């Protein structure tokens, strides 16, 4: 469980929209109130569950957000069980056989049974399960448009792009700066694909967190006085398949997993 050293650390987690849904006039005021203990981080409804879970603890010692997330997960599981998985499989880019829908999540097989139980070899945690359930419940069978857009240009992107930038793009850029093999490892480990150069980037790689929710990573090496840069793009249909909370969970969960992997790699003898 992490603690805040100052109000700025809280502020960095907020989307800076000053929407007032927390009852405070600005995000900065909310950050100050959280730091001084007058507000709880969970009172901002725009912070994704997995981030809240890192900082929030109820008096009983169990994360309040985890309880909420657990409830949401159980409800989604029921909704999945109500779905005809055989009927939605093709539209979701999956396969249905023997009472289970199998999807590829970051290149790995991830199966969900008719009753909503999960069968997979990959480590299961909320950042994967919530988006997968949401993807199945939505059951969208659209074709991808092939038009890449930054998250802020998705229909609800304005509410999320700052947080997404902080939790996904910035840390991923840091990893790419420090770890030159990153993109090759992504290709090997997560079935990512190099694609034709996009936006004049030095590296253009597409990952598939879900079969019909591809994520384009563009990385520009530092050059002369210019710093490196990294941006993520989604097909402009992405929000038909999952909500932005799920996209953010997938992105930040993936980055956290990479950080752990690289830390292990760096500390191996």
User: Tokens 């999945």 belong to which residue?
Assistant: 80
Q: Under a CB-based contact definition with an 8 Å cutoff, are residues 233 and 218 in contact?
A: yes
| Both structure tokens of 146 | 């092939």
Return the number of other C-beta atoms located less than 10 Å from residue 76's C-beta.
18
Q: Provide the b/e sequence for 152-171 (b: ≥16 CB within 10 Å).
A: eebeebebbbbbbbbbbbeb
CB of 19 to ligand SF4, least distance (A): 4
CB of 166 to ligand SF4, least distance (A): 13
Q: Under a CB-based contact definition with an 8 Å cutoff, are residues 250 and 210 in contact?
A: yes
Which one, 21 or 117, has the nearer CB to ligand SF4? 21
Which one, 159 or 177, has the nearer CB to ligand SF4? 159
Which one, 27 or 238, has the nearer CB to ligand SF4? 27
Q: DSSP label at 252?
A: H
Distance CA 19, CA 26 (A): 7
Residues of this chain that bind ligand SF4 (CB under 6 A): 14-15, 17-22, 24, 27, 30, 44, 46
CB of 230 to ligand SF4, least distance (A): 25
Q: Judging by beta carbons within 10 Å of its beta carbon (0-12, 13-18, 19+), is residue 216 exposed, middle or buried?
A: buried
CB of 12 to ligand SF4, least distance (A): 12
CB of 152 to ligand SF4, least distance (A): 15
Return the number of other C-beta atoms located less than 10 Å from residue 189's C-beta.
13
* Closest C-alpha to 204, from 187, 217, 188: 217
Which one, 44 or 88, has the nearer CB to ligand SF4? 44
Which one, 15 or 126, has the nearer CB to ligand SF4? 15
Which one, 14 or 206, has the nearer CB to ligand SF4? 14
User: Any idea how long the chain is?
Assistant: 269
Distance CA 107, CA 105 (A): 5
CB of 33 to ligand SF4, least distance (A): 9
- Cβ neighbours for 149, distance < 8 A, ≥ 6 positions apart: 233, 234, 235, 236
CB of 89 to ligand SF4, least distance (A): 37
CB of 231 to ligand SF4, least distance (A): 23
Which one, 18 or 79, has the nearer CB to ligand SF4? 18
Which one, 21 or 67, has the nearer CB to ligand SF4? 21
């Amino acid at each position: 469980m992490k603690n805040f050293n100052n109000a700025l650390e809280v502020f960095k987690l907020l989307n800076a929209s000053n929407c007032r849904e927390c009852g405070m006039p600005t995000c900065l005021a909310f950050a100050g109130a959280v730091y001084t203990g007058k507000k709880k981080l969970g009172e901002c409804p725009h912070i994704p569950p997995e981030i809240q879970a890192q900082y929030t603890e109820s008096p009983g010692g169990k994360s309040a957000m985890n309880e909420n997330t657990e409830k949401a997960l159980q409800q989604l599981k029921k909704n999945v069980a109500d779905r005809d998985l055989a009927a939605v499989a093709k539209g979701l880019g999956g396969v249905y056989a023997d009472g289970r829908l199998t999807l590829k999540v970051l290149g790995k097989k991830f199966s969900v049974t008719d009753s909503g139980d999960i069968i997979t070899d990959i480590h299961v945690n909320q950042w994967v399960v919530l988006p997968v359930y949401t993807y199945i419940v939505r059951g969208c069978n659209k074709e991808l448009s092939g038009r890449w857009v930054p998250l802020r240009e998705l229909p609800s992107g304005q509410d999320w792009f700052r947080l997404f930038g902080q939790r996904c793009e910035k840390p991923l850029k840091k990893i790419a700066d420090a770890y030159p093999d990153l993109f090759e490892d992504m290709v090997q480990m997560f079935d990512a694909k190099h694609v034709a150069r996009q936006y004049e980037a030095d590296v253009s790689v597409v990952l598939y967190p879900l079969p019909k929710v591809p994520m384009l990573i563009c990385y520009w090496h530092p050059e002369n006085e210019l710093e490196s840069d990294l941006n993520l793009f989604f097909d402009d249909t992405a929000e038909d398949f999952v909500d932005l909370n799920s996209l953010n969970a997938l992105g930040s969960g993936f980055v956290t997993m990479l950080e752990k992997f690289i830390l292990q790699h760096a500390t191996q003898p």
